[in-house]
Structure 1
Amino acid sequence: MATSRLLRTSAAALAATALLISGCSSGSSSPDGETSAGGNTEAGAQRPAAGSTLEPLASSMPGNLRPYYDQKLSWRPCGVSGFECATMKAPLDYAKPGAGNDLKLAVARKKSTGPGRRIGSLLVNPGGPGASAIDYLQQYAPQPAAVRARYDMVAMDPRGVARSAPVECLSNKQMDRYTEVDQTPDTAAETTKLVNAYRAFAKGCEAHSGKLLPHVSTVETSRDMDVLRAILGDPKLNYVGASYGTLIGATYAGLYPSRVGRMVLDGAMDPELDSRATNLEQTAGFNTAFTSFAADCIKQKDCPLGTKSTADAGRQLSALFKKLDAHPAATGQERKLTESLATTGVIAAMYDQRAWPVLREYLAQAKAGDGRGLLTLSDSYYERDPNGTYSNQMYANPAVNCLDLAPAFRDPAQARAAVPAFRKASPVFGETFAWSALNCAYWPVKPTGTAHRIEAKGAAPILVVGTTRDPATPYIWAKALAAQLSSATLLTYEGDGHTAYGRGSDCIDTAINTYLLDGTVPPKGKRCK
């Protein structure tokens, strides 16, 4: 059971760790990938207007923050050859800095290699919330070579994530049980079991990380990035953020518009949306992704979902899930493939079209009673390694999401009432998405953030990148963010998968690399295939 259906990591990171998150079904989509959920585009038609605009922080620095901005880092060799690591301090609470509650945040870098003049530091973040930026950096810093030559490549694990005061919630065995809970309750007893699982998860987070939970917001992480920028000696922040990393970057731009350098936001989020609208529009985005997968599948002789139509493929997948709900499949181990785990496994493969052949194989296995393949995909989504150990990504994810926005639903009755709208957006996965959006209702910390516009007036040119059939961050979000940011240019990739940079399009990579190296944004309306 996913702790939240809000975002996950960039597709490039998924290719390394395997895969991650959600959604699908039949339905129609417009030429630019903006899904018409059941023909009515309900997700888009009911987009709430944000009540405010994110205002910049004062340009003058409060004196009590000076010790953080003036700190010196002690770099040491670490991990992969050529990398250096350090620890920086940041205030747990920016309203009360220096109160003896500093956080230690992990930072890594790989210095520019040349040739050519060094431009500065380039911070990267692959998304999540909860993904390790340092792991991403160490896996992908070798590419692209031209950018690596001119920048020091830098990453900071955000507060609450991986090496930076990680949020902790459950034991590994408890997490195993949590992921198996039915996400599509049919009875009052099943609804109670799901609610109890959400309550127990939240209680575990409070018990293990209660002091940290009120201070892992996107705003606070963006402020941490400004501290790091100053420590690195850069007058402006150069940044590449993917998926949820785009919200971190856009938030930084809103808070510090005069300090924006070259900023790429790939697989953009829309900060104007509340939690319900975000979940509903993402559901429609995965509808587009599944339709694309199904259209490819039915052309293959080995398609386990038939060869009739995408709608029929969706019905066959729903039938498989229903079968697993009643009779979980064997996996060769004590854990069985439940409906919930199977759903998560299919969800994982929607992130990258390169996983489609594997998904076809694993679906065929599951239909024959062998759940090992889909369980492997589900484990990759949850970052569960073969010995049963989970990373903290699934703990940091709701910790950030539930702090940034008010819950989508307050109670099970609201979630159940929303199921028809979510099914309309995605007949196969809509119900799962609706119920998984209930998790924040039981969070132990009240949200500190609200939906808002980000205009970042006065910022240098920002490059927003959107993929037309992106499942996790629908293309409509990239268009919305580019329209909000006063200096943004939208670059469009007409294709499948989550995010676009570094995924095989020379057109996209050339446009982004050119911007990063000489500051030239692509022409207005630029589209790549």
Structure 2
Amino acid sequence: MPRTTHRVGAALLPLLLLVIAACSAGPSERPAVAYHDGEQQIVPAPQPPKPAPVPPLGSPGDDSLNWEDCTAQTRAELGGLPPDMTFSCSRLLSTLDAPDAPERGAARNALIRTGAGRVPLVVLGDIGGEPGTTFAARLATQLPPEMLQTFTIIGMDRRGTGESDPADCVPPAQRDAIVGFDPRATDRAALDRLLESVLKASQECLLNLDERLQAYDTWRTASDLEELRLELGVPKLHAIGRGEAARLLTTFAERFPGSVGRLVLDGAPDPTRDSIGQTESQAQSAEQTFDAFAADCLGRRCPLGPDPRKMVADLVERTRSTPLPAPGTTVSAGRVVQAIRLGLSDLATWPALANALSAADRGDGAGLAAISAPLVTVQGVNPPWLDGDMITSCNDTTVRVPPQRSGELALDWVNRFPLFGGAAAQRVAWCGSWPVPQQPLPAPRRMDLPPIPVISTANDPQMLGMGSEHMADQLPTGVLLRWQGAGHGAVGKSPCITESVSRFLVQGTVPTDGTACPG
């Protein structure tokens, strides 16, 4: 074949590539052309909605709730409160809206308020932590004077928690079994015993709660917030959501965009990952936070010796077969891990956690039992945390993991996250026998919201910092603040973060995106 044929083909190749490139190019950025009465006209391309400005604080509103003084009860629950701080409590009635009875039934949410200001600021915490009223009262003691003089701080027990129609439905034996389960179990026979406990828990809760069971979720709690706004008589809802509660606020923003005021997300779940991925990231974050705890421990010459991680790993291994004695209970390996996870949530409690672990190493489980007690036992008027956490988290995800997959996750995560991976894999298995919700929670995507600061914490045992940064990226109006500290939540703990949040909430000053605060 003549060599010139190849030269012709080579000469035509650039032209061919140009044609192909032209045919496969993306959408043209040139404005569309229209014709009217034979004349060519330029049609401007549709513009995406612009972010809303920072909403004004607004007037105090016409509060229609019935508030009663509850200072004495709150002081008894929390202990050392400032002497001049007072609290009042109320109850919000909203529509239950169960899947089988849409727009019917009643939900009752416990409320608390404090502060000298008159503009409401709602404070929300994690579904698996202390009740929202307790969390709000505690956080109020850590807020700067300008916030307490501007706002009335309002806390709400979310559905199924605290005194809000509490979901106290898991039998005590199953509750102890789930929380205390072997965190290093990976074989199918052992995990089947966990699944049996979870199945009994779900059956009892379904019998006990009936149609209310599937109404305890974040989607419907967002409507409780809208009802709260209406009862407070304000045009916009201003709020802080810590950790998992950030997802409640983004759901509220998707459902009721016209009601969004000044929102702050203090740590947030990763919106780019499903429930399995989020749980995996929590295990990773808890491991990182434990490393920070161990380094702090060594720096303080705490009683855990030269290698805190090894000491704790040995403790977990021993308690797999021989639980520790404690007043009225025993502390198995699972409760050891859960106590550590809870104890890591606040830097101020790290010395107490180290002392409890040291005592456990000597055979005394009382300290670890006290730290983990809220998960499994009634605390005053508040039910165990496990029940509301399990129900809401399972109602919030459509993911259901079969037993075989649970074993694979446990084996993988125990190897990669030796202290917290097994407990995280077990959490994924919680929902296997629970009803599947009708639809997943909406992704945060609205572009017409006002700026929303999102705070990431470098060492947070419950929220991976990178996940919070993904939330800031995913939110079209997200503004990222980074805290290089440790613990769950930065507002009230980091002076730098707290000052930025205060300026935003009080003055409407939007923080600089990417602001970094030292630990």
- Name 1:367's counterpart in structure 2: 361
Q: Does 1:113 align with 2:113?
A: no
The one-letter code sitting in structure 1 at the alignment partner of 2:233 is G
TM-score by length of 1: 0.77
3-state DSSP of counterpart to 2:414: helix
- Name 1:201's counterpart in structure 2: 201
1:155 to partner: Cα distance: 2.4
Aligned match for 2:373, one of 367, 370, 379: 379
Give me the whole-angstrom Cα distance separating, in 1, the residues matched to 2:210 and 2:474. Answer: 35
- Name 1:323's counterpart in structure 2: 318
Residues 171 and 188 of structure 1: CA distance in aligned 2, closer, same or farther (over 3 Å): closer
Alpha carbons 1:407, 1:438 under 8 Å: kept: no
Residues 145 and 94 of structure 1: CA distance in aligned 2, closer, same or farther (over 3 Å): farther
The one-letter code sitting in structure 2 at the alignment partner of 1:437 is V
- Name 1:519's counterpart in structure 2: 508
Tell me the alpha carbon deviations over residues 95-119 of structure 1, each in whole angstroms, 9 at most, x when there is no partner: 7888652222233333x525xxx5x
Q: How does 1:489-508 map to 2 (within 5 A)?
A: 489-503=479-493, 505-508=494-497
Give me the whole-angstrom Cα distance separating, in 1, the residues matched to 2:232 and 2:392. Answer: 26
- Name 1:125's counterpart in structure 2: 124
Tell me the alpha carbon deviations over residues 288-313 of structure 1, each in whole angstroms, 9 at most, x when there is no partner: 11111222334454442534xxxxx4
Aligned match for 1:399, one of 376, 391, 395: 391
Q: How does 1:305-454 map to 2 (within 5 A)?
A: 305-307=305-307, 313-331=308-326, 333-382=327-376, 384-385=378-379, 391-407=383-399, 409-411=401-403, 413-443=404-434, 445-450=435-440, 452-454=442-444
Q: How does 1:68-467 map to 2 (within 5 A)?
A: 72-80=64-72, 82-93=86-97, 101-110=105-114, 113=116, 118=118, 120-129=119-128, 131-142=130-141, 143-172=143-172, 175-176=175-176, 178-185=178-185, 189-307=189-307, 313-331=308-326, 333-382=327-376, 384-385=378-379, 391-407=383-399, 409-411=401-403, 413-443=404-434, 445-450=435-440, 452-467=442-457
Q: Does 1:483 align with 2:469?
A: no
3-state DSSP of counterpart to 1:409: coil
Tell me the alpha carbon deviations over residues 349-398 of structure 1, each in whole angstroms, 9 at most, x when there is no partner: 2212223222222222222222222222222454654x9x9724211111
Give me the whole-angstrom Cα distance separating, in 2, the residues matched to 1:184 and 1:446. Answer: 28
Alpha carbons 2:452, 2:477 under 8 Å: kept: yes
3-state DSSP of counterpart to 2:444: coil
Which consecutive residues of structure 2, in runs of 5 or more, have no partner in the other structure?
A: 1-48, 50-61, 73-84
Alpha carbons 2:229, 2:236 under 8 Å: kept: yes
Give me the whole-angstrom Cα distance separating, in 2, the residues matched to 1:91 and 1:488. Answer: 31
Alpha carbons 1:183, 1:194 under 8 Å: kept: no
Q: Whose RCO is larger (CA < 8 A, sep 6+)?
A: 1
Give me the whole-angstrom Cα distance separating, in 2, the residues matched to 1:97 and 1:337. Answer: 42
Give me the whole-angstrom Cα distance separating, in 2, the residues matched to 1:99 and 1:216. Answer: 14
Alpha carbons 1:273, 1:452 under 8 Å: kept: no
RMSD of the alignment, in Å? 2.7
Alpha carbons 2:99, 2:215 under 8 Å: kept: no
Give me the whole-angstrom Cα distance separating, in 1, the residues matched to 2:297 and 2:102. Answer: 57
The one-letter code sitting in structure 2 at the alignment partner of 1:484 is Q
The one-letter code sitting in structure 2 at the alignment partner of 1:293 is F
1:123 to partner: Cα distance: 0.9
Residues 373 and 433 of structure 1: CA distance in aligned 2, closer, same or farther (over 3 Å): same
Percent of pairs identical after alignment? 26
Alpha carbons 2:241, 2:266 under 8 Å: kept: yes
Aligned match for 1:473, one of 463, 469, 487: 463
3-state DSSP of counterpart to 1:373: helix
1:229 to partner: Cα distance: 0.8
1:169 to partner: Cα distance: 1.0
Give me the whole-angstrom Cα distance separating, in 1, the residues matched to 2:508 and 2:364. Answer: 52
Which consecutive residues of structure 1, in runs of 5 or more, have no partner in the other structure?
A: 1-55, 57-69, 308-312
Alpha carbons 1:283, 1:430 under 8 Å: kept: yes
3-state DSSP of counterpart to 1:248: helix
Give me the whole-angstrom Cα distance separating, in 1, the residues matched to 2:190 and 2:336. Answer: 18
3-state DSSP of counterpart to 2:234: coil
Alpha carbons 1:73, 1:88 under 8 Å: kept: yes
